[in-house]
């Protein structure tokens, strides 16, 4: 698992099979589904779309900004949200 203070609950709990096939899969990284379809199995698409930071993304993949295992910033963000320049609300690093 990727090191980081913020852990995605399934990854932290060792529930790898929630997202991954154990032996073979048609998708990269043995994922059960491709792209955002996998994320939306657990995360409500309408609730995600309500967040201002997601509005400029269009059809971008969740993993463009979020690490699915762990990260150093809240919401599993890969980069410091304070460094954003798109006018969305910046979050603070996890403590």
Note whether residue 55 is domain-resident. yes
Note whether residue 94 is domain-resident. no
Note whether residue 74 is domain-resident. yes
CA neighbor of 37 nearest in space, from 55, 13, 62, 15: 62
Domain span holding position 60: 6-83
The mean of the pLDDT values for the chain is: 84
Overall domain count for the chain:
1
Q: Is the pLDDT of residue 83 over 80?
A: yes
Which tens digit of pLDDT belongs to each residue from 59-70? 678 998 899 999
pLDDT at position 51 is 82
Note whether residue 89 is domain-resident. no
Which tens digit of pLDDT belongs to each residue from 28-74? 999 999 988 999 999 998 888 888 777 666 667 899 889 999 999 99
> CA distances (Å), 53 to each of 15, 43, 77, in order?
28, 16, 11
CA pair distance 59, 74, nearest whole angstrom: 22
Note whether residue 49 is domain-resident. yes
Alpha helices in 1-95 (DSSP H): 9-12, 36-39, 45-50
Note whether residue 93 is domain-resident. no
């Amino acid at each position: 698992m990727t090191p980081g203070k913020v852990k995605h609950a399934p990854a932290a709990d060792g529930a790898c099979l929630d997202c991954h096939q154990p032996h073979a899969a048609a998708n990269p990284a043995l994922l059960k589904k491709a792209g955002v379809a996998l994320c939306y199995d657990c995360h409500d698409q309408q609730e995600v779309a309500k967040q201002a930071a997601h509005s400029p993304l269009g059809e971008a993949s969740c993993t463009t900004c979020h690490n699915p295992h762990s990260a150093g910033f809240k919401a599993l963000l890969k980069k410091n949200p304070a460094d954003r320049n798109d006018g969305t609300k910046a979050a603070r690093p996890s403590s």
